[in-house]
Amino acid sequence: MNEIFDPLNLVLAAIALMVVWRLRSVLGQRTGTERPPIDPYAPRRPNGAAPVETGSGKILEFPSSKEEPAKKPEVDAEPKPPVWTGYATAASPVAAGFEKLVQADPAFQPRDFLEGAKLAYEMIVEAFAKGDKPALKNLLSKEVFDGFSKAIDSRSQAGEKLDFQFVGFEKVDFMSAGLTGKRASIVVKFASQMISATFDKVGALVDGNPREVRDITDIWTFERDVAQKDPNWRVVATETQA
């Protein structure tokens, strides 16, 4: 007899058919709870987001229940002190002048101006002692520059030499501040110390003392046009107090 029709083979084949039929009856059914196939290119939902299907078939995503707690509203910062605080007294002309300057130029700060004025003062007196006109030109108005330039030329023509050393500031104060039209003006009083001595062409001492620290008080007026983009101030007047 052919082996295909061997009774044992027929029994095994029947068992295999029954197993396949049972598996199809279980695996082939859809219960409605199967996960849809994953699309690797679909946009990712935030962690913990709960997708909800609407009647139109679109998906709405609700925020995660693990999101950060709402931040408490920030408490309003304390109002800033007046711009003149520490540099003028309330209701004084200087304080009123500073307030006008801030209205015209919100970036203005007395502290920054004062530091710049001190630096300018030191640069100007040192440049004058050296006879450095180019350094003076951008810091002084034309009228003040002309006066400094004539003094430098007179010293040079006489063959005189000025030995100079800036020591430091004793005190620097605002004397006035104001705004006329677009012209801002600030007057500063400089109390400084320096050593200066002038020698003639043969080396004889003409003025000053090379070993003495002198107290000098200068009153300088600074101006700038707040309507211009140029933020630099220039010295428009100088006065030395005895």
pLDDT category at 13 given cuts 50, 70, 90 is low
Most trustworthy range by pLDDT among 29-33, 60-64, 203-207 = 203-207
Least Cα distance to 185 among 195, 194, 175, 170 occurs for 175
Least confident piece of the model among 70-79, 99-108, 121-130, 217-226: 70-79
| pLDDT in the model for residue 154 | 97
pLDDT category at 19 given cuts 50, 70, 90 is low
Nearest 5°: the CA angle 130, 132, 138 is: 140
Distances from the Cα of 76 to the Cαs of 69, 71, 80, 92, 106, in angstroms? 21, 15, 11, 29, 21
Question: At residue 142, what is the residue type?
Answer: K
Rounded average pLDDT over 39-61: 42
Rounded average pLDDT over 233-241: 95
With a pLDDT cut of 70, the percent of the chain lying above it is 68
Which positions ≥6 away from 42 have C-beta within 8 Å? none
Q: Domains plus CATH for the chain?
A: 93-241 (3.10.450.240)
pLDDT at position 40 over 70: no
SS3 at position 145: helix
| pLDDT in the model for residue 205 | 96
| CA distance linking residue 140 with residue 154, whole number of Å | 19
Q: What is the pLDDT of residues 171-195, one digit of tens each?
A: 999 999 999 999 999 999 999 999 9
pLDDT at position 85 over 90: yes
| pLDDT in the model for residue 174 | 98
Q: What is the pLDDT of residues 211-230, one digit of tens each?
A: 999 999 999 999 999 998 88
| CA distance linking residue 65 with residue 68, whole number of Å | 9
Six-digit token pair at 225?
Answer: 């046009």
| pLDDT in the model for residue 79 | 85
Which residue has better confidence, 232 or 17?
Answer: 232
SS3 at position 89: coil
| pLDDT in the model for residue 217 | 98
pLDDT at position 148 over 70: yes
| CA distance linking residue 126 with residue 128, whole number of Å | 5
Which positions ≥6 away from 171 have C-beta within 8 Å? 189, 191
Which residue has better confidence, 242 or 22?
Answer: 242
As a whole number, the mean pLDDT across the chain is: 80
Q: What is the pLDDT of residues 109-138, one digit of tens each?
A: 999 999 999 999 999 999 999 999 999 999
